[in-house]
Amino acid sequence: MTLTTKSNRPKPPRPARGRAAAKTRSLPSRDQVLTFIRESPSPVGKREIARAFRIQGADRIPFKALLKDLREAGHLERKEGRKLVPRGRLPPVAVLVVSGIDEDGELLARPAVWESAEDPPVIYVAPDVRSRAALAPGDRILAKLSRVEDGAYEARIIRRIAKVTARVLGVYEPAARGGLIRPTDKRAKHDLAVRTEDSAGAVAGELVMVELRSGRPGGRHHTGPREARVIERLGDVSDPRNLSLIAVYEHDIPMDFPPEALSEAERVARAPEKPAEGQREDLLDVPLVTIDGADARDFDDAVWAEADGDPANPGGWHLLVAIADVAWYVRPGGPLDRAAFDRGNSVYFPDRVVPMLPETLSNGWCSLRPEEERACMAAELWIDAEGTLRKYRFLRGLMRSAARLTYEQVQAARDGTPNPTTAPLAEPVIAPLYGAYESLLKARRARGTLDLDLAERRVVMAEDGTIQAIEPRARLDSHRLIEEFMITANIAAAKRLEALRQPCMYRVHDQPDPVKIQALREVLETVDLRLACGQVIRPGALTALLEKARGTPVAAMVNGLVLRAQSQAVYSPDNLGHFGLALTHYAHFTSPIRRYADLLVHRALIAGLKLGEGALPPDSEGRFAESGEHISATERRASAAERDALDRLTAAFLQGRIGAILGGRINGVTRFGLFVTLDESGADGLIPISQLPDDFYVHDPNSHSLVGRRWGRTYRLGERVSVRLREANPLTGGVILDLIEGEDADEAALSTAATPAQRLPKTQKSGKDSTGNMLGRRARAAKLRPRKPRGKRPKRG
């Protein structure tokens, strides 16, 4: 991109001179003036415009009138110093508010201050290579702006604007007088000073929490760093177990419960209120089992199934889904309830959990421990042989879990290799669960749900916090079994509340934006995949598309594109249905221990069915819309924090492999560079556009590609690449990569590709270029090796 300077600013038409000037001189047209101001890189004054057009003498009065008309017509506006700019022009540096992500995965922003009645221009935010901490809608940044094509702007982050806080998390470094705190939050611009007596014995490289002191040591005119006092020492920053703490702090996730909430939890744990006689149904003899991950510490759902004995339902099943009765212990309006609402949900990291409820409850009375009596809310469900929900009811009961099982144990028992725990349960308990699951799976397929194949990463940590591996998370039929049982109970809860005319906090997933679907169609055509046109897109059509792509080099790309085309699932009192699950009614009922939305659904059921204490207060419905927005926001906050922690831990794992050549796939193409997902670790890294082979690269959003104007190199979404790991920063989670081409790339492809068909993009394997033309052997090799640029080094765009 060529920068506009004073020397290359477009010149206005040169007026005639001498006698010819006297005869032909006239004022510039409105369009000429507007073009001159529009193409100026900075605001211009009246005198500068008059000088450019050689306005003199009597022409100055009509020229001033022309400028006034342009302002009054809304074409121009005045900035500081009475300078003129086109209306809607943004300054070189501005405060922006992150507004979302477009269909290419590029971050969008809008000006923090915008006074025009017209919509602001599109602003694309370049990735901050210093930090992988996710920017979320609503975050504020200070950015340098430059105009790009189509009147849009490119924003490069100068710094993130931190929220005002009295506490700061940072790394302690000794200094001449005491120490310095280097904040982990990259939005913080300045270090903090700590006196020796305020350091609490902190040592170099230690992660600490500090409290800001009021004022500055030398008064308000002092220019040195602000002072702080260490209030908590959290350990060596190089310890991977401390990296999740950074994510907790940066996303403002509450760690400590208010004292009154802890007091209430302790009181409930010591002497829980007992229900009146006859208020609970006896489920103690039902062999309900919990099935969770091996590292789970709380168990809030249990399941059981048997063949339905009703002759009118041949092949049908009778199910029971029992959930910890959190509403019995957490009453509306109390300190515990307020703290749970504030958190909205639990947040899960590889090394810790930040719970929605204090552990005295979440790991105590609200955890369905084996062989211990527990209060529960249960959904009793009847399905037919095809998995259709025939009838259901909700009850409050008293249960006793028969066993605490893991997904791996249950799957092994199903596959014929039970252990001593599962052997006695294999036929009477586990087999009926799978029988019911197979029927529910038929119903899922008949509905035509959206089934994305997205790999999840799992961090394996030793007891001492060492990261041993980062591996794909296993996806077993036992996982799907529990998922289908929970979905069925959630459907029943939403339908029951609607029938009772009770407020319901629905889990809604709206139809995809038609604009995004059309963009998806256009990209798919570039890889010979078709998505049928129609008025309404169905989830089954997208799943059929994913099946066509399965096993091909573009499978990961297609899954990612389909995901980006989706609306975001949220909580709302208005039922919009659930597009992804192809359901008309859906609410979350099954995890009130970790999601506040589920607790609201429990309370509404208790109120509508008159099941006793802990019901939803009568005046709650008016606050449901606001509550839905809040818990949707806390869910997004938790997801962002979990991603950031995973990025930091992955970067820590990769630190020992700097310089290694790795295989990966392009998962994002932006005007700033390429995002690549590495094969082995699943880490996402950035190849800055400045590191690509010399050329002027143009971003083509329609084909999700960067195209070199001079040499014709093309980098597309989904293509395999070989990269060298240049930088991995655990403090920020940032991973920077260099593109490798030529013989090194061939070697990396052979060593990292899962199959021969995945080693090179399809067009290169077949001996064709990106347009489908046949390439000779030398031409194919040239596409894999950087060419020597001829003459002057071309610019990168």
DSSP string, 383-445: E-TT--EEEEEEEEEEEEBSEEEEHHHHHHHHTT---TTTGGGIIIIIHHHHHHHHHHHHHHH
Q: What are phi and psi of 109, to 5 degrees?
A: -145, 170
Q: What is the pLDDT of residues 559-583, one digit of tens each?
A: 988 998 899 999 999 999 999 999 9
- Per-residue DSSP letter, 370: B
| Contact yes or no for 634/449 (Cβ under 8 A) | no
| Contact yes or no for 592/602 (Cβ under 8 A) | yes
pLDDT of residue 197: 92
Contacts of 748 (CB under 8 A, 6+ apart): 661, 662, 663, 722, 740
pLDDT band, very low/low/confident/very high, at 55 (cuts 50, 70, 90): confident
Question: What does pTM read for this prediction?
Answer: 0.74
Q: Which two tokens stand for residue 76?
A: 């121009």
What percentage of residues in the chain have a pLDDT greater than 90?
Answer: 49
> Which of 414, 331, 326 has the alpha carbon at shortest distance from 365?
326
For the cut 60, the answer to whether the pLDDT of residue 793 exceeds it is no
pLDDT of residue 80: 58
Buried b (16+ CB within 10 A) or exposed e, 35-67: ebbeebeebbeeeebbebbebeeebeeebeebb
Q: What is the mean pLDDT of residues 77-97?
A: 71
Q: How far apart are CA 443 and CA 387, in angstroms?
A: 5
For the cut 90, the answer to whether the pLDDT of residue 337 exceeds it is yes
Range from 35-49, 199-213, 698-712, 746-760 carrying the lowest mean pLDDT: 746-760
Q: How far apart are CA 410 and CA 744, in angstroms?
A: 45
Choose between 657 and 701: higher pLDDT.
657
- Per-residue DSSP letter, 82: G
pLDDT of residue 113: 76
Contacts of 619 (CB under 8 A, 6+ apart): none
Choose between 309 and 214: higher pLDDT.
309
pLDDT of residue 395: 97
Contacts of 544 (CB under 8 A, 6+ apart): none
pLDDT of residue 90: 78
Q: How far apart are CA 563 and CA 707, in angstroms?
A: 25
Q: 3-class DSSP state for residue 368?
A: coil
pLDDT band, very low/low/confident/very high, at 421 (cuts 50, 70, 90): very high
Q: How far apart are CA 131 and CA 731, in angstroms?
A: 8
Q: What is the pLDDT of residues 225-264, one digit of tens each?
A: 889 999 989 888 888 888 898 889 888 899 899 999 999 9
46, 49, 52, 57 alpha-carbon torsion, rounded to 10°: -50
pLDDT of residue 216: 53
Q: How far apart are CA 642 and CA 349, in angstroms?
A: 6
Q: What is the mean pLDDT of residues 487-510?
A: 97
pLDDT of residue 772: 33
Contacts of 465 (CB under 8 A, 6+ apart): 239, 240, 241, 351
Q: How far apart are CA 184 and CA 654, in angstroms?
A: 19
Give the total residue count for the chain: 797
For the cut 50, the answer to whether the pLDDT of residue 797 exceeds it is no
Average pLDDT over all residues of the chain: 83
Q: What is the mean pLDDT of residues 722-743?
A: 89
pLDDT band, very low/low/confident/very high, at 84 (cuts 50, 70, 90): low
Beta strand 403-406 with 289-292 is: parallel
Q: How far apart are CA 364 and CA 360, in angstroms?
A: 5
